[in-house]
């Protein structure tokens, strides 16, 4: 990347020249290609656009807890059931009316729990939801939030949830590792867990209306009932039915504009969308490698 481009972009940001800022960001992002740097810059640019001209980066102290890179997912590429489609329409509407709702003492639905067995789109959906609402996704590294030092984990949780830049979506995967039921255990490990859960409850109660909080778990039965109650919506991502599996296969071939020799029995044996994706990719590669495409 040329130094001139960096200086030009900084100057246009200082001048507030919107047209030059757009050109500068787009040029540098395309020049960085498929790299981590390009993803980071894209996120800064998205955050700039979403905050109508303010450059908002994640506070330095939160960076260790948030993934720098993630695979972009579009909602169009996911097979979703009617309940989820209805939820999407609703959350977008409430999001755009959030100020009016607040004026009437109401809040928009912005705490969403995704549950279901592995490989059926919880993570993909969370990332796609940010794109759908036109806001920046912040994907937490859940393990990093847990600190062996007493009191640090709950501080991390509170800091992260309360400091996500506005018009952002915070995604916490493997949420059961944080929000498991509180115990009567008076041993220090039990007490530490209870403190994390209490911090979660407090942070979720204070979530600003222009931040969306999405959590995912395979084990919602383990979640503390008070934590569970804090969510406005619980969306289920079950294993696909036979019809849905067939639809997935059709959609894959349509998207790639190819015909693949799927074996019906193999499709039925796939449990999740993730299994189906593996099978589709395997066949797709086989066709390329055998010169059929
Ligand atoms: N509903 C869906 N429609 C289309 N593709 C899907 C769907 N669900 C999952 N996939 C594909 O399967 C892969 C795995 O999905 P994803 O990681 O989102 O699942 P998950 O529910 O988060 O799994 P885990 O519980 O293991 O974290 C993704 O690459 C995605 O493209
Ligand atoms: Mg996941």
Q: What is the pLDDT of residues 118-148, one digit of tens each?
A: 999 999 999 999 999 989 899 999 888 888 7
- For ligand 1, whether the C-beta of 199 sits within 6 Å is no
**Ligand 1 pocket: which of 81, 116, 120, 272 to mutate (most atoms within 8 A of CB):** 120
Burial 30-40 (b: 16+ CB within 10 A, else e): eebeeeeebbe
Whether residues 260 and 205 fall in one domain: no
- For ligand 1, whether the C-beta of 120 sits within 6 Å is yes
Q: Is residue 24 part of a domain?
A: yes
Supply 55's token pair. 């450059």
- Indicate the residue among 236, 257, 279 that finishes a domain: 236
Q: Is residue 69 part of a domain?
A: no
Strand (E) or helix (H) holding 233: strand 233-236
Query: pLDDT (tens digit, 9 = 90+) per residue, 245-275?
Result: 999 999 999 999 999 999 999 999 999 999 9
**Number of domains making up the chain:** 3
Query: Which residues, at least 6 apart from 222, have a Cβ–Cβ distance to it below 8 Å?
Result: 176, 180, 181
Whether residues 208 and 95 fall in one domain: yes
- For ligand 1, whether the C-beta of 75 sits within 6 Å is no
pLDDT band at 211 (very low <50, low <70, confident <90, very high): very high
Locate the ligand 1 atom nearest the alpha carbon of residue 118 and give its number.
25
Q: Is the pLDDT of residue 57 over 80?
A: no
- Indicate the residue among 236, 263, 278 that finishes a domain: 236
Whether residues 247 and 196 fall in one domain: no
- Indicate the residue among 236, 252, 273 that finishes a domain: 236
Nearest to 193 by CA among 205, 181, 175: 181
Spacing, Cα 172 to ligand 2 middle (Å): 10
Strand (E) or helix (H) holding 211: strand 211-217
Whether residues 31 and 136 fall in one domain: no
| Integer Rg of the chain from CA | 22
Q: Hey, what's the torsion of the CAs at 173, 47, 95, 248, to 10 degrees?
A: -50
Q: State residue 172 phi and psi, 5-degree precision.
A: -115, 110
Please report the pLDDT score of residue 53 as a whole number: 58
Whether residues 143 and 269 fall in one domain: no
The residue range of the domain holding 140 is: 75-236
3-state class of 194 per DSSP? Answer: helix
Q: Is residue 64 part of a domain?
A: no
Query: pLDDT (tens digit, 9 = 90+) per residue, 70-121?
Result: 888 999 999 999 999 999 999 999 999 999 999 999 999 999 999 999 999 9
């Amino acid at each position: 990347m040329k130094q001139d481009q960096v200086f030009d972009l900084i100057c246009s940001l200082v001048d507030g020249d919107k047209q030059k800022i757009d050109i500068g960001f787009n040029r540098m992002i395309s020049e960085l290609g498929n790299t981590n740097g390009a993803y980071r810059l894209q996120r800064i640019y998205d955050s700039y656009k979403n905050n109508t001209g303010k450059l908002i980066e994640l506070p330095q102290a939160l960076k260790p807890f948030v993934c720098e890179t993630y695979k972009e997912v579009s909602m169009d590429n996911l097979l979703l059931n009617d309940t989820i489609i209805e939820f999407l329409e609703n959350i977008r509407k409430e999001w755009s009316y959030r100020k009016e709702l607040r004026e009437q003492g109401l809040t928009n639905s912005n705490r969403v729990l995704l549950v279901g067995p592995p490989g059926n789109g919880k993570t993909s959906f969370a990332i796609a939801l940010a794109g759908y609402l036109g806001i920046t996704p912040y994907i937490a590294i859940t393990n990093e939030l847990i600190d062996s030092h007493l009191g640090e984990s709950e501080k991390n949780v509170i800091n992260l949830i309360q400091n996500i830049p506005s018009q952002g979506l915070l995604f916490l995967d493997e949420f059961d590792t944080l929000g498991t039921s509180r115990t009567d255990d008076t041993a220090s490990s039990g007490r530490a867990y209870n403190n994390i859960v209490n911090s979660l409850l407090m942070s979720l109660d204070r979530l600003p209306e222009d931040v969306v909080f999405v959590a995912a778990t395979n084990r919602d039965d383990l979640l503390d009932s008070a934590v569970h109650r804090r969510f406005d919506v619980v969306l289920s991502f079950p294993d696909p039915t036979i019809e849905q599996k067939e639809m997935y296969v059709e959609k894959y071939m349509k998207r790639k504009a190819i015909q693949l020799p799927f074996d019906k029995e193999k499709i039925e044996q796939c449990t999740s969308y993730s299994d189906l994706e593996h099978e589709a990719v395997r066949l797709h590669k086989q066709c390329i490698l055998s010169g059929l495409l």
